[in-house]
């Protein structure tokens, strides 16, 4: 059983894995090692994963056999476990609780060598539908307060398997960084009586210089406050706090824009590792008017240094305006201040 721990000073929570603890010899300090063996996410390896939770399939094909387009399975090495209750207790000045939660893997496609940007919009739609449907399902479990969907692409972004996949973690509380956003957005709303993200969308559409791509329903831009080079934000133009309530027609538009954004990234930066995150409202959505769901896309181009860790203050060597230009294909422009 994993253990959750809370820092009495910062309020930060962590998960400690007590079941598969790593020793000094267990770390891959070397990088770019070739892996051998069979891929557990390819057709014909369905028995290598835990039994599937959900899948989009060719009609007539059986569960846990080939014939699927997108397949959802429990993570074989979950950070949190689905069974059990939350038992909170004090340990001296510290607090801890059991590691109860869900940790699922969304296998995006049977094609080992295709990435999201290589798929058709309809294929990407299956992935997004899986995100949505799993969210709706897990919201029924009252132990879960927050659902985090994310994708790590490439080893330096934390991916341990090459085969295209996303992950979903259901947490027994709303995590710190999300709370910061929720509270910050709430303060913004209280002050201006408007959603801060809606304001951002309007300003970016007006300024244009940080916009990467858009369609009628969605926009992707390099945020004014980008922590990392080529970081992008993708969000609905119309206010919406809860991703799981999105309708299928809009999901297809999202699929198109996401494919476009990732293709631009691959083109401009020679297929970099990246993290993709979905930030949506918590299960108990008391932030409907002030929060606005969004995706964050962060290519892993630089090492995060001690300074960033120590301060929460990031040094970004590429202006978002330049990043957007590169991603639009306009090329760089001189930006002396």
Q: How far apart (Å, rounded) are the C-alpha atoms in residues 109 and 127?
A: 8
Tell me whether residue 15 or residue 42 sits nearer to a second copy (CB atom). Answer: 15
DSSP secondary structure letter of residue 61: P
Task: Note whether 82 binds a second copy by CB under 8 A.
Answer: no
Residues facing 81 on adjacent strands: 100
- Do residues 85 and 20 lie in contact, with contact meaning Cβ atoms separated by under 8 Å? no
- Do residues 327 and 212 lie in contact, with contact meaning Cβ atoms separated by under 8 Å? yes
Tell me how far, at minimum, the Cβ of 253 lies from a second copy, in Å: 23
Tell me whether residue 46 or residue 108 sits nearer to a second copy (CB atom). Answer: 108
- Measured from the Cβ of residue 136, the count of other Cβ atoms closer than 10 Å reads 11
Task: Note whether 284 binds a second copy by CB under 8 A.
Answer: no
Tell me how far, at minimum, the Cβ of 271 lies from a second copy, in Å: 9
Tell me how far, at minimum, the Cβ of 47 lies from a second copy, in Å: 26
Residue from 65, 75, 156, 245 in contact with a second copy (CB under 8 A)? 156
Q: Which of 320, 266, 46 is nearest to 154 (CA)?
A: 266
Tell me whether residue 199 or residue 238 sits nearer to a second copy (CB atom). Answer: 199
**Backbone torsions φ then ψ of 105, nearest 5 degrees:** -115, 130
Tell me whether residue 43 or residue 309 sits nearer to a second copy (CB atom). Answer: 309
Tell me whether residue 129 or residue 276 sits nearer to a second copy (CB atom). Answer: 276
Tell me how far, at minimum, the Cβ of 219 lies from a second copy, in Å: 15
3-state SS class at 17 = coil
DSSP string for residues in 94-129: EEEEE-B-EEEEEE--S-TT--GGGS-HHHHHHHHH
Tell me how far, at minimum, the Cβ of 102 lies from a second copy, in Å: 13
Q: Is 165 labeled as catalytic in the residue annotation?
A: yes
Residue from 72, 116, 125, 178 in contact with a second copy (CB under 8 A)? 178
Range in contact with a second copy (rule: CB under 8 A) among 117-125, 169-177, 236-244, 248-256: 169-177
Structure tokens that stand for 82 in this block: 């689905």
Q: Which residues ranging from 187 to 206 are in contact with a second copy (CB under 8 A)?
A: 188, 196-197, 199-200, 203, 206
Structure tokens that stand for 202 in this block: 């309007």
DSSP secondary structure letter of residue 8: T
- Measured from the Cβ of residue 183, the count of other Cβ atoms closer than 10 Å reads 12
Q: Which residues ranging from 83 to 102 are in contact with a second copy (CB under 8 A)?
A: 91-94
Q: Which residues ranging from 97 to 136 are in contact with a second copy (CB under 8 A)?
A: none
Q: How many residues bind a second copy (CB under 8 A)?
A: 101
Residue from 54, 104, 123, 296 in contact with a second copy (CB under 8 A)? 296
Structure tokens that stand for 308 in this block: 């960033």
Could you tell me how far CA 322 lies from the centroid of its own chain? 24
Task: Note whether 34 binds a second copy by CB under 8 A.
Answer: no
Range in contact with a second copy (rule: CB under 8 A) among 59-67, 172-180, 242-250, 256-264: 172-180
DSSP secondary structure letter of residue 277: E
Tell me whether residue 1 or residue 216 sits nearer to a second copy (CB atom). Answer: 1
Q: Which residues ranging from 224 to 243 are in contact with a second copy (CB under 8 A)?
A: 224-227, 229
**Backbone torsions φ then ψ of 241, nearest 5 degrees:** -95, -25
Structure tokens that stand for 30 in this block: 């070397």
Task: Catalytic residue, from 103, 126, 163, 165: name it.
Answer: 165
Tell me how far, at minimum, the Cβ of 153 lies from a second copy, in Å: 9
Q: Which of 59, 20, 169 is nearest to 106 (CA)?
A: 169
Active site residues: 165
């Amino acid at each position: 059983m994993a253990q959750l721990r809370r820092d009495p000073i910062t309020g930060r929570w962590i998960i400690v894995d007590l079941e598969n603890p790593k020793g000094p010899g267990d770390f891959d300090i070397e990088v770019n090692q070739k892996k051998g063996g069979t891929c557990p996410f390819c057709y014909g390896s369905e028995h290598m994963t835990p039994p599937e939770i959900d899948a989009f399939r060719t009609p007539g094909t059986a569960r846990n056999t080939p014939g699927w387009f997108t397949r959802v399975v429990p993570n074989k090495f979950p950070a949190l476990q689905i069974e059990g209750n939350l038992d909170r207790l004090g340990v001296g000045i510290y607090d801890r609780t059991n590691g109860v939660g869900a940790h699922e893997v969304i296998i995006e496609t049977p094609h080992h060598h295709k990435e999201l940007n290589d798929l058709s919009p309809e294929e990407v739609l299956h992935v997004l539908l899986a995100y949505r449907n799993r969210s709706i399902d897990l919201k029924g479990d009252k132990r879960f307060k927050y659902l985090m969907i994310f994708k790590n692409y490439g080893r330096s972004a934390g991916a341990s398997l090459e085969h295209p996949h996303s992950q979903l973690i259901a947490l027994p509380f709303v995590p710190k960084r999300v709370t910061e956003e929720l509270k910050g957005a709430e303060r913004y709303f209280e002050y201006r009586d408007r959603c801060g993200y809606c304001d951002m969308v309007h300003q970016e559409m007006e300024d244009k210089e940080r916009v990467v791509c858009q369609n009628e329903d969605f926009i992707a831009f390099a945020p004014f406050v980008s922590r990392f080079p080529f970081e992008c934000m993708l969000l609905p133009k119309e206010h919406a706090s809860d991703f799981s309530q999105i309708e299928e027609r809009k999901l297809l538009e999202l699929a198109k824009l996401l494919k476009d954004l990732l293709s631009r990234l691959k083109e401009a930066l020679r297929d970099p590792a990246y993290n993709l995150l979905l930030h949506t409202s918590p299960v108990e959505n008391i932030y409907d008017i002030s929060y606005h769901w969004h995706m964050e896309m962060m290519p892993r181009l630089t090492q995060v240094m001690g300074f960033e860790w120590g301060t929460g203050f990031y040094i970004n060597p590429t202006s978002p305006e330049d990043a957007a230009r590169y991603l639009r294909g306009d090329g760089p422009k001189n930006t002396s201040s």
